[in-house]
Amino acid sequence: MIREMATENAPLLRPPRWWEGAALYQVYVRSFQDSDDDGYGDLQGLSSRLGYLADLGVDGVWLSPTMPSPDTDWGYDVSDYYGVHPELGTMQDLDQLIKGAKAAGMEVLLDLVPNHTSSRHPWFVEAIGDPASPRREYYVFCDPGPDGGPPNNWLDSTGECAWALDEASGQYYLHNFLDTQPDLNWWNPAVHAEFERVLRFWFDRGVAGFRIDVAHGLYKDAELRNNPDAEIDSAQARFGREPVYSANRPETHEVFRAWRKLADTYDPGRLLLGETWVWDPERLASYTGDDDELQLAFNFRFALAPFSAPHLAAVVESSIATLGEACPVWTASNHDIGRFASHWGEGDVRRARLGLMLLCSLPGTVVLYYGDELAMTDVAVPLERQRDPMTKGNRGGKEERDRGRTPMPWSSAPNGDFTAPGVEPWLPLGPLPAGSVAEQAADPTSPLCLTRALLALRRQHLAPGIAAYQTLSVDEEHLVYRVGDLVVALNWVDRPGVLKVPSGRVLMSTTLERAGDDVEGSIHLAPYEGVIIGR
């Protein structure tokens, strides 16, 4: 695969794209800001906080699902691809958000769910109601297996059988997630045509691109063969099955090549960012193709790696070796995996600061999840307050996802100014190791102020464009790397360290206290401290 890289001797041969080196920010809309005091965040609430995001320094905002949905999977069960969920607002609210974001120098990405629909989508309602309808071919229906049971051994995301019986016809339909989320049949050209219309509709309204849900899973094996047993359970292979035939089929790449051609007809081009749950770097790179498929693909091997210098340095190096410096996406939190300040930081704000410096100083694109900039941690949501049917009560052995979806704490006031005092927020707020937005904004050494400084430095030195990366040294306790014209030195342990680094001047430290210090070949770092050095 051809990868374009920029070095001092070989500059990039084309203008940089806006997302190269950019910082994106994922907003879980229901938890960001409530404007109408019903306990749920909404689009008007998000619009009211655009100034905060502009001050933070992000280049684009990715919204969790905004399309109409019965919410059995909180928007990832879409019932209308051309609308706005009434609990979140109106189409006018979304248009105003896009307009306001652009005026503030930010783009807006929507979440697109092409792997499945809601069982209440008109396509499926027609398909289930009339087996002779052309809509039946929009979904994966199949006769029972030889034993009269499900057609094969595929399991859904909760570990249960991935097939639901349509008793009226005697056939089964496929659902790789909940049975309220029937999988679409991408072998049907009509499905391709439907989604190309969806893309055009939103691109024409000014949407800058899409985060594509389950991007690796569109096509399924035409013969519906059994998945093989897995040697061990992992983030990819769970419940004793390797998803060889239920995901990562080669035909999926044709979809993204077609979508990329469509996206590139717009000026500027529209961004396709894939949720790609694949572990092998070469397979991850295949989703960007020869710069003719997705422009960006999430790198979950990085997000779920142990928080150690050798592990993360190895993931960074292998990712860049296969993707180049333009394509990697670095994130450590989201609505599914929870918050990095918990699984990397273990609640220690110093470790969270180190993670923020790593995230914000790598080439490619960084995606922060709302609250990352506050070192916000997972919240232990009591069972009676959990709202996610997919994981409530640790269903299927999964850690419940509500822990990372709790409301944004704007202040120390009741309900954190997320919603009005006396209104019960849809999920409870939790403790804040480093304080609310207002408290951190008043503290010049806070994680929020660190993130603002990191993103400002990133915009000055790494974006827009492609920066070369080189690991200078790594061991169990330290990592030093060069990115563009910067050197980053990270002390990964809870004791002081001395690191060999190129001479220069400290531009920033994770404590925000050492800017301007001269460096002559080595630097002393405090426990869990990191610095960025310039020439």
Strand partners, 212: 112, 274
- Residue 386 CB neighbour total at 10 angstroms: 18
Report yes or no: 182 and 173 within 8 Å, Cβ to Cβ: yes
Annotated active-site residue 529? The verdict is no
SS3 of residue 181 by DSSP: coil
Residue in 275, 378, 402, 417 annotated catalytic? 275
Report yes or no: 191 and 220 within 8 Å, Cβ to Cβ: no
Strand partners, 241: 229
The C-alpha atoms of residue 441 and residue 179 are separated, in whole angstroms, by: 45
Residue in 213, 336, 378, 388 annotated catalytic? 213
Maximum separation of any 2 CA atoms in the chain, in Å: 77
How are beta strands 23-27 and 107-112 bridged, if at all?
unpaired
Rounded-to-5 percentages of helix, strand, coil across the chain? 30, 15, 55
**Among candidate residues 44, 41, 107, the one with its CA nearest the CA of residue 75:** 41
Annotated active-site residue 213? The verdict is yes
The C-alpha atoms of residue 213 and residue 115 are separated, in whole angstroms, by: 7
Helix or strand (DSSP H, E) at 112: strand 107-112
Tokens of 351: 């470790």
Q: What residues contact 176, with CB distance under 8 A and at least 6 apart?
A: 115, 116, 154, 156, 157, 162, 183, 214, 217, 246, 247
Helix or strand (DSSP H, E) at 27: strand 23-27
Chain-centre distance for alpha carbon 50: 20
Report yes or no: 160 and 396 within 8 Å, Cβ to Cβ: yes
Listing from the earlier edge strand, what are the strands of the sheet with 478-483?
A: 469-474, 478-483, 486-491, 530-534, 504-509, 518-519
Tokens of 410: 């704007």
Length of the chain: 535
Helix or strand (DSSP H, E) at 16: none
- List, by residue number, the catalytic residues: 213, 275
